[in-house]
Structures are given as C-alpha cells and as structure tokens.
Amino acid sequence: MQVEITVDGNPMQLTKGETLLSELRSSGVDVPGLCYNGKVSPTGCCRLCCIKDTKTDKVEMACTLTVCEGMDIQVFTPEIEGYRKETLQLILSEHHHDCMTCEAAGSCDLEDLAYRYGIDSSSEVYPPAYTASPVHETQVLVFDPRKCIKCYRCVKACDELQEKHVLDMVERSNEIRVWAGYNGIWKESSCDGCGECIQACPVGALYEKEAVRKGRTWELTSTDTVCEYCGVGCLIQVYIKNNHIVKVKGKDGPANEGRLCVKGRFGHQYLEINRLTSPLIKMNGTFVEVTWDEAIHHVADTFSRMLTTYGPHVLGGLSSARCTNEENYLFQKFVRVLFHNNNVDHCARLCHASTVAGLTRAFGSGAMTNSIAELADSDCIFVMGSNTTETHPVIATFIRNAVRKGAALIVADPRAIDLASSAHVHLQLKNGTDVAVLNGIMNYIYTQGLHSQDFIETRTEGFSDFINVVGEYTPERVEDITGVSSEKIQEAALLFGQAEKASIVFSMGITQHITGTDNVLSLANLALLTGNVGRPSTGVNPLRGQGNVQGACDVGALSSVYPGYQPVTSPEAREQFETAWGVALSDNPGLTVVEMINKAALGEIKGMYIVGENPMVSDPNTNHVERALKNLEFLVVQDIFMTETALLADVVLPSQAALEKEGTFTNTERRIQPGRRVVEPPPNTKTDWQIIGSIAGKMGYPMEYGTVWDILREINQVTPIYRGITPERVTEGLQWPCPSEDHPGTPYLHRGTFSRGMGLFSPVDFVPPAECPDEEYPFVLSTGRILFHYHTGTMSRKVEALDSFVHEGYVEISSQDADILNINQDDFVEVTTRRGRITVRAKISDRVAPQSVFIPFHFSEAPANRLTNDALDPEAKIPELKVCACAIRKVDVITLQKEGEE
Amino acid sequence: MNEQIVLNNVGSYETPASVREYTGKGGYEALKECLTRDPESVIREVEDSKLRGRGGAGFPTGTKWRYAASRKDTAYVVANADEGEPGAFKDRLIMEGDPHKLIEGIAIAGYAVGASHGFIYVRGEYSHCLNLLDEACADARKHHFLGNKIAGSDFCFDIKVRAGAGSYVCGEETALISSLEGKRGNPRIRPPYPTSRGLFGKPTVVNNVETLATIPAIIAGGSKWFSSVGTPQSTGTKLFPVSGAVRRPGCYELPMGTSLETLILTHAGGIKKGKTLKAVLVGGAAAGTFLGKENLSVPLSFEHLNQVNAQLGSGVVVVLDCDTNILDILVGIMEFFMRESCGLCAPCRVGIVQIHRLLSGMATGTIEPEDGIDRILSLARVMNKTCLCPLGQSVVMPLQSGLNLEVV
Ligand SMILES: Cc1cc2nc3c(=O)[nH]c(=O)nc-3n(C[C@H](O)[C@H](O)[C@H](O)COP(=O)(O)O)c2cc1C
Ligand code: SF4
Ligand code: SF4
Ligand code: SF4
Ligand code: FES
C-alpha cells in the first residue's frame, strides 16, 4: 500500500512496510549507503544512510527502518550530509585506496561516494588506519583485507543467500576482519567457490582471480544469457573484453535470483581451449582437415548411400541436451525426415526417461510440476535421490532458505549428502530400496489418518489397489528391507503428512534404476495420497541435469514422441507432422540410446550421427559402447571438442558452444529462456543448426532458416505446449504449457485437473536391484556427479579453477571398510565389476555407508561407466547406473608401474 | 549507618551459597509471597516502587517487565552480570556475598513475566562468582526454590549460569543476547527491543544484578516503603563503587540523592593524605562524566546528575587528585574503547582509533590542543548521533567534560 511520507519537507508516496532505503532509492532519492544489500537482512553498519526523524529528532538508518504512514524525515540537510561526510572520511581512512590498480575501480561504491562528496587525497583528514594483513587467494577469488570496509555483505551473502556459512567476522574494533572457515585460511575452508561474496562486495576487497589485470571495468562490455551448465537455468551476465570472458556475475533470473554456483561463475574458460576448428575426415586411421563443403558432401553422400543400400533401419542419431531447443528440434526433424525412422534419442534417456514414463502415467505430464522459487514457501521438502547441493547448487540454496524459514526437510539418500546435515530426518536407505521406503512412509501416513481423503475422492483413481499393496509395507517390514529404522520412517511420514504444502524433489538417485519408473510412480503416489499436487509449493519435482535436457525432450529428441510429447504411434500426430514437414513418417517408435548401441554392436545399426554427446564416457558399460561404436560403418560426431567419442568418428564436424550462439533453452522448471551470443565463435566453426541444415539440403531436403528464430516459429506451430512462446516473448521467461500468444505460462501443473484427467495411483511392489552384492563382488557401487564437474568433463575439466578444486577421479569408501582393507587416503585401489575394472585413488569418507562406494563419472581416465550395469528399466529403458556390485582391492604403486610398462 | 537493602546480608554468611543461611534471614519469603499473588500484581508492585535499572540506562524496571509480559509468549529473564565497566565491582559483591538474593530476584521476575528459564550472564573473569552461583543454584534446586513446582506451587523455573568471554560490549543487552545465543557478540538493531524479540526470538527481560537483587526487598517491604527511600524520580538505595584517590575505596550502598560530597568525604573517608581533589569521574567510562569541584554538592540521582550533564550510569565513582592529567586518563579510556568497540559500525570502529590518535598526539605534544580538540569533539558528536549502540554514542561524554576541565 502506498502511503504518504515527508522527505525534506516534500510529500512522497512510498510502499508501506518496505525498507525505507530501497523505497527512497527507487523513487529517485539517492541516499548513500555501503552495507545495504536488499537481498539479505539489513546490517546497518556503515551508518551512511542516516536520516533524521523530524518528530523525534533522532538520527536513524534508512536501511533498518520500514516505511510508515506519516513519517517525516530529513535526508539531505547540511547536518545529515555532514555526518555522512565525516563517516565517509573515517571509512576511507581504513581503506587502502589504490584505485589505480584496483579491479573494482569504475564499479566501486566507495569510490563513487568519495567522488560524490568530493573527498580527494588533499582533503583527507585522517591518517590511514587499516591494518596490514596478508592477501588471501583461493582457486577462484582474491581477498585483500586492506580494502575491506567491514560491511558484512560477503558474510551475509554466504550465510543467507548461499547458506554455506563459511565466513564470519573475527576480532573486535578495527582489528575486525573477514574470516573463512576455522583457521582463517580461505583456501582451506569449506568455501566451494560460488563467488556470491564477490558479487556482494561493494568495493575491491573481493575479486575474481581470473579477472586480475584482464581489463578495467569501463573497457568491458556485458551480455546476459543463460548459464550453459545445469538445468537450473541461472541467468548470467558475462563481461567481455576483446572476445575473452573476463568475469561473470549472476543476473536476477526467475530461477536464480542473482545467485550462481562455481561452474556458472568461473566455468567458461573451456571456450578457448583445444577447440575443433576444422571439419575432419578420417583417412587411413588419421584425421585430415577438409573444407566444410567436402565434409558436408561426404556425410550427406554416405548417409544417402547407406539408406539406398541397407534401407531406413540402419541409421540413428543422438541429439544433445547442450544444444538449443531449435537445434534439437531440427535434429529430430532431420532424423525423422531423412533417416525415415524415429531413431533419435539423447542423454535424457540416461537420466530421466523413467521420470517421463512415471509422471506421464500418473499425472499425464512428465515434467517438474512446480517452480523452483516455490520451494522457498514449502512447509516440508522431501529430497530423495538428489544430491542437490552438488548437482543443482542454486536450487539447494533455496531449499536451505526454506529450512531456515521453518520448513521441515526430509532427505532420503544412501549417502550422507551435504543436505542431510540440514535435514530433520535423514533416511539412509540401502541403494535401490526406494520403493520400500516410500511404501513404508505411505503406510504410516495412511494408518495415522494423515492422507487427504477429499483429494483422493475427487481427483484420483486407482486408490484401492494401491492401498492394498501399501498395506503390506509396515514400517517394521520396511526396516528389514531398507535398513532405515521404523522410527525414522514414521518421523518422516509425520513431517510429510502433517505439512500443509509439501514438495518432493528428486533426481537420478530415483531414476537410474531398473525400477526407475516404479520409483517415480511411488513418489507420485505419495503426492496423490497427501493431496500435494496442483497447488503452489507442492508437487513432484524432478531436477533435470543438463542445461537443456528438458527442452531437448520437449522438442522431440526422443525416440517415441514428436515435439510436444505427441506419440509417434498416434495417427493424428503423425499426420500433423507429415503435413507440416511434407514427407511420410515412420509409425514405429525408434531405438533408444542404449538400444542403438546394442544394435550397433550387433551390426544392425550401421551409421550414427552424434551431436554434442560423449557416450564413450557417459553411457553404462563403456567397453560395450566402445565395441559398438567401432563396429559402425560410418560415425559422424559433431562437437566443440575432440571427445573420446569423436576420436572414434569417421567425420568430425566442429560446432559452436552455447555461449557462442543464439537460441532458447528450457530449464528444469519448464521455463524457456534465451541464450545469446556472448563471444564470437572460433573461426571455421558453424552452429549445430547450420550444419544439420546443410547436410539435410545436400541429402535433398532443404532445411533453410534465416535465423534460429525462424526455427522457433516452426516449433510454435507444431508444438502446442510451446505455441505461445514466440521469438517476441522469449525474454519473458515463460513456463510451458503456454498454448497461445496471450497465455501467461504455467508456474505449476495440474491445477484443478490433471493433464490426464484423474491422478492415477499405481500399486508398486519392491523389486531388488538387478545386481546385488555377493561374495565375489561384496560392495555396492553407485555413481554420480560432483559440484565442480559436469557430465563427461569435456568442458569443466578444461577450466583451471574447476580442475584445481577436483583434479581427478576417486572412489569414496567408508572409514570402516578402508580400515578393513588397509586402505589409506589417496591410495590407489582397483574397483572391479562383472563388466570392467578401473584403478582410482581412494577418498575415505563417511558420506558413504559401509559396504558401499561411490565414484563420480566425469573422469575419462577413471571411467566409472566401465563398471556400471546396463540392465534396463523395462518401461523407460533407463540403465541402472546407481547400483551394481563391485569388488575393491588395494593396489600398490609398484604393481601399477609394472602394469603401465606392460 | 543508613539502612541497607541490597548489601544487608553481605559478609554475614559462613557459606553464601547455602539456602539455609539465606532463609534464616528471611530469604525466599518474597518469592513465596509472589507465588500466592498473580503475576500482574507483582508487576504492579515493581512499577509502583518506581525502581529504575541499575545497569546504566535507568529504565523503569516495572515497565520493562510489563512489555515482556504483554507478549503472552514464553519469556526469558537474563541477569546481566557482565560488569565490564572500569571501576565497577558492585555486582560482584552481591554475587559473592548474597547470591540467593539475586536468584530470588530472578525467580520473581520469571514468575512476573511468564518465563520458565533464566540465565545469569557472568563476566568470564569472575570465576569465583561463576562457581558460587552454580553451587547456589544447585542448592536452591534442592530446596525447591528452582526447578519444578517451586515452593509447592505450579510455577516451574530454572536458571543457567553462563560465562562471558571477555568482551565489554557483551554487557550491552542486545550484544549479550547474541553472545548467549552462541553468536558473535554484536549489538543488534533496535527495534525489535529484547522485551518483544530477544533471546532466541522470545520476549526477554535483561536486568542488572543489582536491579534484580533489589526486588525481594520491594516485595517484602512493599512499594510504598521502597519509594519513600531516595528521591522522587530515583527511589531506593544505590550501590556506589568508589575508587581512586580516596582513603577508603569501596562499595557503598546509600539512598539515592545522597550528595557526591557526602559519598566521598563521609563514606569514602575523604581524599588521600597530601592530595587535593581535581575531579570525579561519575557513571563509569562509557557514559562517564568528569565533574569538577564546583559540582561536588550534586545529589547522586538520575535526575540531578542529568542537570549537570552527567549520568548516574552504573554508579561508578572514580576520584582523581590534582596530580592526575585528565588527558592521560582520556587516552586510557580511549584505549579501552579501542579494544572494546565491537567493530560493527564504522563511526565507532574507526572514529575511536582516530580520536585516540589525536588525543595521544595532544598528550605527547605533537598535536596542538587547538588543532585536536575541535576535531575530536566533532567526531565524538557524529558518533553520538550515528552509532548503533550506546558504546559509541556515549564517548562524547567523558571527552567533552574531560577536555573542558583539563585543556580549556
Ligand atoms: C557498552 C555497554 C556495556 C554495558 N555493560 C553492562 C554491564 O556490564 N552490566 C549491566 O548490567 N548493564 C550493562 N549495560 C547496560 C545494559 O545494556 C542494559 O541496559 C542493562 O543490563 C539493563 O538492566 P537494568 O534495566 O536493570 O539496568 C551496558 C551497556 C552498554 C552500552
Ligand atoms: S570483503 Fe567486501 S563485502 Fe566483505 S566485509 Fe569486506 S568490503 Fe564488505
Ligand atoms: S546452478 Fe546450474 S545453471 Fe546455475 S550457475 Fe550453477 S551450473 Fe549454472
Ligand atoms: S557503537 Fe561501537 S560497540 Fe556499538 S555497535 Fe557500533 S561499533 Fe559496536
Ligand atoms: S546502508 Fe544503512 S547503515 Fe549502511
């Protein structure tokens, strides 16, 4: 509500209850202030935003007052300005102002105020009062205490935005200083390099290490775009000089509210390292540089010849979750039109195929039901099989914000992941027993009468079959299966069942199982049972991994569906696309990733076109993948680097990275955001859509578009859920479904009615993993991601900062097992499964339970996927990457060297 | 000798921590009486007594309690036993000499405001007090004056004794609360005041030890009797810790309104032999004021001291003889503040450093008084207007009065 207040004698309308300082500033009253940061709680310590309350004659700080009706304040009287100038003099005296070499010069709030108040060195009245203390450097940032003005902004950003609590102030008086971790050595603290503190610092006390002497602020230009890494879809502001990225700041995007993680802020150096800059054709086993014309000709001719020789079933394509929606659309169209089949898939198959299958069955739509920002208002958040802090770092910060505000947090994970430390209950279940845990929770919710009878009756079907199965899962029986005590099951059930608004968050810990679809159905059951769907801050929320994996699915880079999840088996859908594309289309669902690889091994798939994927590292059972790809007659790989997969190719086509091109990306919450060309691409490269278009043209089907936006227009026409997301509206950050040009988008799904009508309960029984530990392979092996690396490491491992946090692969093993096997930290151990064997260093960590180990999959020289099981979920065809049985053995260095020499 | 209300039993016990000896002198009767009345009437009694806080600010105790009680939420009572003011040793005397009086006062406050837990935040250096209070609480628990169902009533209340870690500013009530919560001891922005959102976000009464130790007598003797002692706006007696150039330094409990002269000449035995009086620092260092000879007749009460631009503060009186250079004393005070400022707000954190430099320069002759004084005072005034807590706000008082006496 607007109320009237008096400012220096003049009436002014401000919003009641809001912070006075921000209200004044946004009304054009430029009150100075260094410690205020509207995103965190006010500190009120610089005392520069002082004002005088005319009624009480007291000086107060505008940043710690809220607007009240009838306030009468003095802001720019000589008295108040005098206080400000005096205080500014004091602050300047404890600040080492060598602006000429300072990274912040030109964007420093203190410098601006000194200018504004006319304080130059000749009018400085106080001798320097800063204390000499050493400069700190970490992998990503530099902290110069002599420039610190003790404003607390970094401390509060770390606490209240990132919830990492690495920083605090120590000492008193003007000895007070920012302190990281226990011993004050920033590099040794638990700082994970998100850089939120840098972004919060109003002066040059904290700055990006990589930006040092790379350019003065006024020489930089900036472009806003979407972070190219994970599915959170943070907006970034990229600062450029001479086509080099100097630094990155978080933009106030709907998904990140200005926050970033270490990859988004510091992870872009790869753009300039070892890029492919010429098309290559392999001749007699070695790559030879060729012209684009030659390359395109060769690819088009070969594909055409193979089609004529073998028929339409021998070719397949893998699309990429790192490419734009437009490129994915074009690629699936390419396969469907020119390969005459539906053999197009991408890595979503390895991550969330079971999500799509399960949620589509239960609700009628396979995507995240609610929005990221809604998490902050949940009463209870249930995180299952998602190591959110490392895989979706910015989402984890919102979860922790909710917990600080009073939400209950339940974490179900076999590992004591970081979020578990904030959880009210941590259910440390045995790998692969998710269904049992969930049935146990639902059993208790039901027996306690905490289910939502009304919701069940009015909005769901299939309840009685479902509840009969659940009835068999008493907490006691579940304890036997899962290893989680019945008390904890009950506690979790109470927290979830009693919450008014409960959100479920999950990721690959749920999906990458042979029971992946069952797991997802179970989560859907839980939401249906308690009526937690179709309202804000509730829902079943799969967190999608790669930057555009949601979008790649949406626009049809899946073997079974056309853009907009229209089944290839549906005659109406097929007819629509036949008309739109002007060709006859196949009505057979195509092969999935793993199926294509299997058929390649058998020689039934003979040619593949792989765009921006690296199955040699990402897919299960690498030895098998390698055999399969080598068995191909013709392999085209289109990438920005010479990946492990590209090395096996017959033709390599150099494409452009996300930050080098335009196009839209869809984040995990179904939000479409535009990516922009931030830097010019390397010479002699082309965008993926241009390359796909030229090959298509050469093969006799022109796919010519002036710009990506023309492709988006075509997507609008054929994809009902994207219909209203036109090139003109992409900056609005709309969430699909957005069926028309005046539709506002859909922040949460299934309001009032489910996409399929009624929510469907599914009776789900517990089925053990495909491979359980036995005498020969006594450990459970699980694989996954870590904060500092991304996918197969092709990008993140080229980035010095990220690489210096974690340089190589490892296996996490519990201290108990390490003791038994006589393994010390960093010892080499050999991990063996029925499929392969790798040697990695041991990392002793009680994050993993005894008898289980964990290996991150990003490291091609310690390839976890040589070990993993490619047993598939029967419905979604997702491989069981999260559980298999393995053996562990310590190897001594001498044996290793011998093996190396052999 | 005047009637003593607070120190009356001090020195008379064999084991001060023992409940027996205290009840032998009528101890815990006031608490028992309160338990037969409703909390509201206890608050009214304290209001009517016109008792004002002995910790420095002189805020009416009854009003403070009423604010906290009006929140209708579980409240906390905290006894401020941080006693960090240079020259102060009065609370220690109570805690070492008659700890149960404090405990009884806290329990009464707890009953009045609806608390079930109280804390005594004791200056870390007072290790003897810490042990003694722990023992005394344990004995009180044994005798059912703490714990469940106190003295057979339905009132449940217990006290935890906590040690500070050597920071003066942690005596400031909001910093104290931060420290009690296990956080860095920074003062907090007000509002919210502790009585609405204090310790762990709950309504909290923070009272000085002396204030709380006065409560049992008010209940026992009645507000009418209590307010008949002292002056109209400063009722009851006050402890005055006297140090410096006097013959008998010590802590004297006298009715409010006793003159400074009587305190120094009669009770403290006058100025040390061979010396003459130069000035008296009244109220401690934080909000202390140097009073010259011409002000000796001032009655020691909140209102009378205000009239001579001084504050009663915690009642500290430091007597300075004619050999003392006030500039040196001021440098010492600023050194103390320089160590003790919490460092949160810029004017205090840096202002004190710069004032200290200027003063030291004046003391050693490198800065001319006329160059230094204006700057010092203008800085101190900015601090007075803009600092976040009373520590920074009040350095102007000793500076202004001291520089007036010594230099101008
Ligand atoms: C810097 C500073 C130090 C203080 N130290 C003490 C102290 O040691 N003991 C105390 O009782 N009050 C101290 N106070 C006053 C408290 O903030 C608070 O006003 C007092 O504890 C309230 O109790 P009362 O109402 O009983 O006086 C201090 C205040 C300031 C600003
Ligand atoms: S480092 Fe920067 S943000 Fe942190 S306290 Fe110092 S000046 Fe403020
Ligand atoms: S959380 Fe994801 S999208 Fe956001 S900055 Fe990190 S990697 Fe990028
Ligand atoms: S005035 Fe001094 S002691 Fe008080 S909050 Fe500010 S810096 Fe801390
Ligand atoms: S901006 Fe208000 S005190 Fe710093």
Residue A67 and residue A157 in one domain: no
**E runs forming strands in B128-191:** 158-163
B314 and B288 in a common domain:
yes
Is B166 near chain A, with CB under 8 Å? no
Does A310 lie in the same domain as A183?
Answer: no
Chain B CB within 8 Å of residue A163 CB: no
CATH of the domain at A157: 3.30.70.20
A243 and A337 fall within a common domain: no
Q: Is the CB of A263 under 6 A from ligand 3?
A: yes
- From chain B, the residues in CB contact with A113 under 8 A are none
How many domains are contained in chain B? 3
Residue A740 lies in a domain: no
Shortest-distance Cα residue to atom 6 of ligand 2: A148
d(CA A599, CA A315) in angstroms, rounded, equals 10
Residues B211, B334, single domain; the answer is no
B193 touches chain A (CB under 8 A): no
Same domain assignment for residues B376 and B336: yes
Residues B56 and B103 in one domain: yes
User: CB-based contact (8 Å) between A91 and chain B?
Assistant: yes
Chain A residues whose beta carbon lies within 8 Å of the beta carbon of residue B343: 150, 169, 171-176
Report whether residue A395 contacts ligand 3, using a CB cutoff of 6 Å: no
- Asked if residue B392 and residue B282 are part of one domain, the reply reads no
Structural domain that includes position B384: 326-406
Domain count along chain A: 5
Q: By three-state DSSP, how is residue A747 classified? A: coil
Strand ranges in B237-276 using DSSP code E only, listed in sequence order: 237-244, 250-255
Q: Is residue B24 part of a domain?
A: yes
B12 domain residue, yes or no = no
Domain boundary among B255, B287, B321: B321
Does residue B354 belong to any structural domain of this protein? yes
Any idea what the CATH number is for the domain that residue B25 is in?
3.40.50.11540
- Residue B240 tokens read as 């005055």
Instruction: Tell me the C-alpha distance between A760 and A460, whole Å.
Output: 6
Confidence of residue A373 (pLDDT cuts 50, 70, 90): very high
Tell me the chain B residues in contact with residue A87 when contact means C-beta distances shorter than 8 Å: 346-347, 382, 386
Cβ-nearest to A174 among B169, B184, B353? B353
Cβ contacts of A727 within 8 Å, gap of 6 or more: A709, A712, A713
pLDDT value of position A130: 82
Partner residue opposite A129 with nearest CB, options B189, B350, B379: B350
* pLDDT given at position A900: 53
φ/ψ of B250, rounded to 5, equals 165, -175
B-chain residues near A90 (CB < 8 A)? 346-347, 350-351, 354, 379
The verdict on B29 and B151 lying in the same domain is yes
Positions of E strands within A708-862: 759-760, 779-784, 810-813, 828-832, 837-844, 852-856
One domain, residues B149 and B94: yes
Q: What is the DSSP letter of A794?
A: T
Helix residue ranges per DSSP H, B272-342: 302-307, 326-340
Q: DSSP letters along B42-61, please?
A: HHHHHHHHT-B-SSSS--BH
B377 in contact with A, Cβ within 8 Å: no
Q: Is residue A63 part of a domain?
A: yes
B359 in the same domain as B284: no
Least confident of A246-260, A337-351, B17-31, B269-283: A337-351
Within a domain: B256: yes
Is residue B7 included in any domain, yes or no?
A: no
**pLDDT digits 0-9 by tens, A544-586:** 988 899 999 999 999 999 999 999 999 999 999 999 999 999 9
Distance from C-alpha of A190 to C-alpha of B194, rounded to nearest angstrom: 34
Work out the average pLDDT over A268-281.
92
Q: How far apart are CA A233 and CA A220, in angstroms?
A: 24
Q: Taking each helix axis from N to C terminus, what angle separates A688-698 and A292-310, rounded to the nearest 10 degrees?
A: 50
Reading across the β-sheet that carries A141-143, which strands appear in turn? A136-137, A141-143, A206-208
A127 shares its domain with A48: no
CA distance linking residue A594 with residue A353, whole number of Å: 12
Phi, psi of A304 (to 5 degrees): -60, -45
Give A595→chain B minimum CA distance, Å. Answer: 58
Q: Residue B151 is encoded by which pair of tokens?
A: 């003295």
What's residue A902's pLDDT? 47
B247 sits in which H/E element:
none
Query: Cβ contacts (< 8 Å) between A43 and chain B: which residues?
Result: 344
Omega cis (within 30) before A134:
no
Residues of B in contact with A169 (CB under 8 A): 184, 343
Flag if B346 and A45 touch (Cβ within 8 Å): yes
**Residue A670 included in any domain:** yes
Q: Could you give the angle at the alpha carbon of B387 between the alpha carbons of B384 and B391, nearest 5°?
A: 80
Whether residue A61 has its Cβ less than 6 Å from ligand 5: yes
Q: Best interface-test mutation with B: which of A19, A40, A90, A91 has the largest number of B CBs within 10 A?
A: A90
The residues that bridge with A222 in the sheet, in sequence order, are: A239
Q: Is residue B10 part of a domain?
A: no
Domain match, A127 and A264 both? yes
**Distance, CA A48 to ligand 4 centroid (Å)?**
15
In-domain check, residue A28: yes
Give me ligand 3 centre to Cα A389, in Å.
11
Using a CB–CB cutoff of 8 Å, tell me whether B200 touches chain A: no
Q: B243 to each of B89, B90, B267, B318, B402, how far by Cα in Å?
A: 10, 12, 12, 5, 18
Q: Is A286 part of any domain?
A: no
Q: Position of tokens 């590992």?
A: A415
Q: Which of B341, B377, B382 to mutate to test the interface with A (most CBs of A within 10 A)?
A: B382
Helix axes B29-36, B209-221, angle to 10 degrees: 70
B156 and B198 inside one domain: yes
How far is the centre of ligand 4, averaged over its atoms, from the C-alpha of B172 (Å)? 10
pLDDT interval class at A72 (50, 70, 90) = very high
Residue ranges of chain B whose pLDDT lies below 50: 1
Domain for residue B1, yes or no?
no
Same domain assignment for residues A35 and A12? yes
Q: Is the CB of B345 under 6 A from ligand 4?
A: yes
A132 CA to chain B: closest CA distance, Å? 15
- The reply to whether B260 and B372 lie within a common domain is no
Give the Cα separation of A530 and A35 in Å (integer).
44
Last-in-domain residue among B306, B321, B336? B321
A454 and A403 within one domain: yes
What are the backbone dihedrals phi and psi of residue A289, each rounded to the nearest 5 degrees, phi first? Answer: -70, 135
Check residue A896 and give its pLDDT.
Answer: 60
The response to whether residue B341 sits with its C-beta less than 6 Å from ligand 4 reads yes
Contact between A2 and A13 (Cβ < 8 Å): yes
CB contact under 8 A, A173 and B385: no
Confidence (pLDDT) at B406: 81
Structural domain includes residue A93? no
Edge-to-edge strands, sheet with A10-15: A10-15, A2-7, A72-74, A50-53, A58-61
- Partners of residue A503 on adjacent β-strands: A381, A539
Residue B139 CB-half CA count within 13 A: 20
**Does a structural domain hold residue A183?**
yes
Same domain? A529 vs A628: no
- Nearest Cα of chain A lies from the Cα of B26 at a distance, in angstroms, of 45
Of A215, A792, A225, the C-alpha closest to A545 is A792
- For the domain that residue A359 is a member of, what is the CATH number? 3.40.228.10
Residue with the smallest CA separation from ligand 2 atom 8 is A151
Angle, alpha carbons A527-A530-A531 (nearest 5°):
75
Identify whether residues A468 and A584 lie together within a single domain. Answer: no
Please name which ligand lies nearest the alpha carbon of A61: 5
Q: Mean pLDDT over residues A125-131, rounded?
A: 83
Of the listed ligands, the closest to the CA of B102 is 1
Give the number of other Cβ atoms within 10 Å of residue B262's Cβ.
16
Q: Indicate which residue's Cα is closest to atom 17 of ligand 1.
A: B172
HEC profile for A632-696? CCEEEEEECCCCCCHHHCCEEEEECCHHHCCEEEECCCCEEEEECCCCCCCCCCECHHHHHHHHH
Q: A-contacting residues of B 25-44, CB under 8 Å?
A: none
- How many helices and strands (H and E) does chain A possess? 29, 37
Structure tokens at A782: 């699980």
Classify residue B360: in a domain, yes or no: yes
**Chain A residues closer than 8 Å to B344 by CB:** 43, 45, 150, 152, 176
CB A338, CB A532: distance < 8 Å: no
Give all strands (DSSP E) within B41-154, no chain letters.
75-81, 115-122
Structural domain ending residue among the three candidates B287, B321, B355: B321
Note the pTM of the prediction, 2 decimals. Answer: 0.92
pLDDT tens-digit series, residues A864-873: 888 888 888 8
Inter-residue contact A815 to A843 (CB < 8 Å): no
End-of-domain residue from the set A501, A526, A542: A542
Indicate which CATH number applies to the domain containing A794. Answer: 2.40.40.20
Same domain, B153 and B43: yes
pLDDT averaged over chain A? 92
State the average pLDDT over residues A526-537: 95
Per the CB < 8 A criterion, the answer to whether A140 and B306 are in contact is: no
For strand A566-567 and strand A607-611, is the pairing parallel, antiparallel, or unpaired?
unpaired
What CATH code is carried by the domain that includes residue A30?
A: 3.10.20.740
Residue A145 Cα to ligand 2 midpoint, Å, equals: 8
Are A581 and A649 in the same domain?
yes
- By CB atoms closer than 10 A (0-12, 13-18, 19+), residue A16 is middle
Same domain for B125 and B207? yes
* Cα gap A395→B34, rounded to integer Å: 54
Residue A754 lies in a domain: no
Q: Are residues A216 and A319 in the same domain?
A: no
Structure confidence at residue B2 (pLDDT): 61
b/e for A617-634, b at 16 or more Cβ within 10 A?
bbbbbbebbbebbebbbb
Closest CA to ligand 1's atom 14? B172
| Residue where a domain stops, chosen among A542, A562, A583 | A542
The verdict on A617 and A636 lying in the same domain is: yes
pLDDT one-digit tens code per residue, A677-727: 999 999 999 999 999 999 999 999 999 999 999 999 999 999 999 999 999
The domain that contains B245 carries what CATH number?
3.10.20.600
Range of the domain at A168: 123-272
Mutation target for A interface from B186, B188, B345, B367: give the one with most A CBs within 10 A.
B345
* pLDDT surpasses 70 at A731: yes
ipTM of predicted complex: 0.94
Query: Residue B132 and residue B134: Cα distance in Å, rounded?
Result: 5
Cβ-proximal residues to A48 (8 Å cutoff; 6+ apart), any chain: A32, A33, A34, A35, A84, A87, A88, A91, A113, B346
